[in-house]
Amino acid sequence: PGSADEASSTALNIECRICGDKASGYHYGVHACEGCKGFFRRTIRLKLAYDRCERSCKIQKKNRNKCQYCRFHKCLSVGMSHNAIRFGRMPRSEKAKLKAEILTCDHEVDDSETADLKSLAKRIYEAYLRNFNMNKAKARGILAGKASNNPPFVIHDMETLCMAERTLVAKLVADGIRNKEAEVRIFHCCQCTSVETVTELTEFAKAIPGFAGLDLNDQVTLLKYGVYEAIFAMLASAMNKDGMLVACGAGFITREFLKGLRKPFCDIMEPKFDFAMKFNALELDDSDIALFVAAIICCGDRPGLLHVGQIEKMQEGIVHVLRLHLQGNHPDAAFLFPKLLQKMADLRQLVTEHAQLVQV
């Protein structure tokens, strides 16, 4: 008995009212799966009494066998009854009503989920625009000569470097390094943008929904490991094949000049240019980069994290939003999402190599 109703429950894709698994039919007055039907039948037939639980456990498919007290309580609360028709068929009118309810509910879930995802993407993008002094749109404008202010001062040899230090980066060149050799000063000039970016990144991270609620130690760990990956991802916006913007876009240091420095300095920036050329070829805009950087920061596999599950859940949400955002923003670039995941791995390698070079 009940086969027709079981078939219709499956066709309607109705969930078990107790645990959310797929319902096999209308059992003891409610739609239930085989597992919960059997559990209820055994409990009633054998007059089983379960140890009281005060935790009001949430009963789901994956954990339904853990707390029998709460599972039985859920059976009763959704209306399961031994007096109900055990394998009753649903009247046609009831079935039509239920089908309409399910379809409406599905749309509501889809709509509310989409709204949540859009809201997350919007909040991350707004935090990015608010916290970073330099973004891709601004950098590309300067590099293309479309910016309203003066074009950047080009640093291509030691003479132009000295001129730039006297004007552009006078405030940025600390007294402590003024007497150091040129290579150290150049490296500092490239880095001073990064130092500013570390502060900006910290503020950006705190604005990512959920980040400020993490354990403080985990926040520090995520920033410690994610900061350089994020910086090199964003540095690509300020680079083209010929050089990179420095001093907040007021200067442009040529790639050839950097390559002509003595070792190890000549090797420090070249891998960043190689990465930047490939990354820029993906033609991301600032709304894409904002989500990409958020995904880099909220990474659940950093060493020493205390609450891995919580961070993985955050990262899953951001990566899911990133995938959907890319589908909408780049409908013709089918492989953009997997390419970006690969870029996350490339950035890790880039940071590892950077650390080795700087230690030399």
Is 346 inside a domain boundary?
yes
Residues 82, 168 within the same domain = no
Residues 80, 33 within the same domain = yes
pLDDT, residue 145, reads 85
Residues 225, 90 within the same domain = no
CA atoms within 13 A on the CB side of 12: 25
Is 20 inside a domain boundary?
no
Residues 182, 305 within the same domain = yes
Residues 72, 143 within the same domain = no
Residue 82, helix vs strand vs coil: coil
Is 310 inside a domain boundary?
yes
pLDDT, residue 100, reads 62
Among 64, 87, 106, where does a domain finish? 106
Residues 100, 207 within the same domain = no
Residue located via tokens 């640093």: 155
Residues 133, 198 within the same domain = yes
Tokens of 275: 């990465």
Residues 101, 164 within the same domain = no
Is 4 inside a domain boundary?
no
Are 75 and 33 a contacting pair, CB within 8 Å?
Answer: no
Count of CB atoms situated within 10 Å of the CB of 99: 14
Q: State which residues form the domain around 90.
A: 25-106
Residues 147, 181 within the same domain = yes
Are 35 and 21 a contacting pair, CB within 8 Å?
Answer: yes
Is 127 inside a domain boundary?
yes
**What Rg, from alpha-carbon coordinates, does the chain have?**
29
Is 9 inside a domain boundary?
no
Domain with 231 in it: what CATH number? 1.10.565.10
Residue type, 90: M
Element (H, E) at 136: helix 136-143
Among 106, 129, 148, where does a domain finish? 106
Indicate the burial class of 201 (C-beta count within 10 angstroms; 0-12, 13-18, 19 or more).
buried
Among 106, 121, 143, where does a domain finish? 106
Tens place of pLDDT per residue across the chain (360 aa): 444 445 445 456 788 999 998 888 878 878 888 889 889 988 888 778 888 888 888 899 888 888 888 999 999 888 887 766 444 455 566 566 666 655 555 454 455 667 788 889 999 999 999 999 899 999 999 998 887 677 888 989 888 888 877 776 555 444 454 556 677 767 666 665 555 788 899 999 999 999 999 999 999 999 999 999 999 999 999 999 999 998 888 889 999 999 998 888 888 899 999 999 999 999 999 999 999 999 999 999 999 999 999 999 999 999 999 999 999 899 888 889 999 999 999 999 999 998 888 775
Partners of residue 30 on adjacent β-strands = 27
Q: How far is CA 212 from CA 205, 223, 283, in A?
A: 8, 12, 31
Q: Angle, to 10 degrees, between the axis of helix 182-207 and the axis of helix 158-167?
A: 50
The torsion of the CA quartet 294, 296, 297, 302, rounded to 10 degrees, works out to 150
Residues 6+ apart with CB under 8 A from 220: none
Are 201 and 223 a contacting pair, CB within 8 Å?
Answer: yes
Is 154 inside a domain boundary?
yes
Residue 172's Cα: distance from chain center in Å? 33
Is 2 inside a domain boundary?
no
Residues 39, 143 within the same domain = no
Residues 133, 282 within the same domain = yes
Q: What is the 3-state secondary structure (H, E, C) of 252-309?
A: EEEHHHHHCCCCCHHHHCHHHHHHHHHHHCCCCCHHHHHHHHHHHHCCCCCCCCCCHH
Residue 185's Cα: distance from chain center in Å? 36
Q: Angle, to 10 degrees, between the axis of helix 92-131 and the axis of helix 286-297?
A: 90
- The number of residues making up the chain comes to 360
pLDDT, residue 96, reads 64
